[in-house]
Amino acid sequence: MNRYLFLLVALLTSSCSKAADPKDRERELSYLRCVVPESLLEFAHVEVPAVENITIMGEGTNQHLGLHLLPGQKKRNGGVRAEISVDYPFQPGDTVRYAWRFMVPEGFESDAPKNRWWIIGQWHD
């Protein structure tokens, strides 16, 4: 059985939380609908430390998410991150196909001369 995951992400650094309050889940779904097919929404989550770390960008069918890392932001799951996850219960033998795009915005500043690294996309077993 084939499963498809299409994520259009503006800037991704990497894992995810489940919204406990129904209002929080509705807000989370408003972000996810920009980048996750309807069939995968129940398995998808946004994990950001604050609302300032995520933005819906574009309009109509050209919507995408801006996931932002901010100076001095709180850590999430032990790291500085802003991300989307899809935790689908795949079965042994399933074929999984992932497709995604990302953009590093013009004017993006690294933290040179420290030259630390950034994770743009990450898969886990």
Cα–Cα distance between 39 and 36 in angstroms, integer?
8
Query: Would you list the domain boundaries of the chain?
Result: 2-101
Question: Would you say 101 and 59 are in contact if contact means Cβ atoms under 8 Å apart?
Answer: no
Is pTM beyond 0.85? Reply is no
The residues pairing with 46 across neighbouring beta strands, listed in sequence order, are 84
Report strand pairing: 95-101 vs 83-86: unpaired
Q: Which residues of 53-83 are buried (b: 16+ CB within 10 A; e: fewer)?
A: bbeeeeeeeeebbbbbeeeebeebeeebbbb
Per-residue pLDDT of the chain (125 residues; tens, 9 = 90+): 323 333 333 223 233 345 567 888 999 999 999 989 999 999 999 989 988 999 999 998 888 899 888 888 888 888 888 889 888 898 999 998 877 788 888 887 777 777 677 777 777 76
